[in-house]
Amino acid sequence: MSLNSLRVPPGALPDTRLTASDSALALVSPLPLAPASRVSREVVVSGCVKRRHSFDLGALMRLPTQLTGPLDVVCLSGRTVRSASEYKGVRLSALLDIAQLRLPHARDFTRAFVLAQGADGYTVMFSWHELYNTPVGIGALVIYERDGRPLGDDEGGIGLISTGDLRVALRRVRALKRLSVHLPDPPTR
Ligand SMILES: Nc1nc2c(c(=O)[nH]1)N[C@H]1C(S)=C(S)[C@@H](COP(=O)(O)O)O[C@H]1N2
Ligand SMILES: [Mo]
């Protein structure tokens, strides 16, 4: 299936971010404060993990860093949202390793997946296999710096990126708040 055949219908594109209540708020709020729904200073790892874990900026910076190198952030439409020379962060799998997956039965991992959610509810999925068994996992990063500067409130603070994706903008989650590990029931016959 080609990327184009995967395109969602016009109007369903996740490009529009201002909700009606956000714009109403903008009218009454004279200060350019970043609303809580648009910025993250902490990521919580929850779900099927042994220890629910919270990582703030300091905790992320103490972990082994990964750099992306030059990167075009391209949306589903093909539009380049931005070009960055470098993002800095830590591997998503490193955070999961610290929280430790709680998967009771042998081979449960083969169907486990992780949902990564932004402060506005925007959610993307990674399978265990993508993260631990394909090159995608190497480039799936929780990021906190772009081009040598901390990700500002206007960029959502702590975020997520997946450099191995064809259209990087989609799993570039701004204001990453939560990583939840899930184990679906296997289908029954
Ligand atoms: N939290 C969050 N992240 C998101 C989105 C969103 O709606 N919410 N939209 C995605 C899409 S479709 C695009 S094109 C890019 C836009 O990137 P930008 O915010 O750097 O312009 O953010 C991606 N990450
Ligand atoms: Mo987009």
Domains and CATH numbers, the chain: 40-182 (3.90.420.10)
Tell me, using a 6 A CB cutoff, whether residue 81 lines ligand 1.
yes
Q: Which ligand is nearest to the CA of 171?
A: 1
The model's pLDDT over 63-74, given as tens digits with 9 standing for 90+, comes to 999 999 999 999
Tell me, using a 6 A CB cutoff, whether residue 14 lines ligand 1.
yes
AA letter at 135:
P
Tell me, using a 6 A CB cutoff, whether residue 169 lines ligand 1.
yes
pLDDT reported for residue 35 = 77
Residue 5 has pLDDT above 60, yes or no: no
Q: Which two tokens stand for residue 28?
A: 């009454």
Residue 101 has pLDDT above 80, yes or no: yes
Q: Which ligand is nearest to the CA of 154?
A: 1
Compute the average pLDDT of residues 47-58: 98
Compute the average pLDDT of residues 143-172: 97
The model's pLDDT over 11-35, given as tens digits with 9 standing for 90+, comes to 444 433 334 444 444 445 455 667 7
How many A from CA of 167 to the centre of ligand 2?
Answer: 9
Q: Model confidence at 9, in pLDDT bands (50, 70, 90)?
A: very low
What does pTM read for this prediction? 0.85
Residue 133 has pLDDT above 60, yes or no: yes
pLDDT reported for residue 145 = 98
How many A from CA of 51 to the centre of ligand 1?
Answer: 29
Compute the average pLDDT of residues 118-131: 98
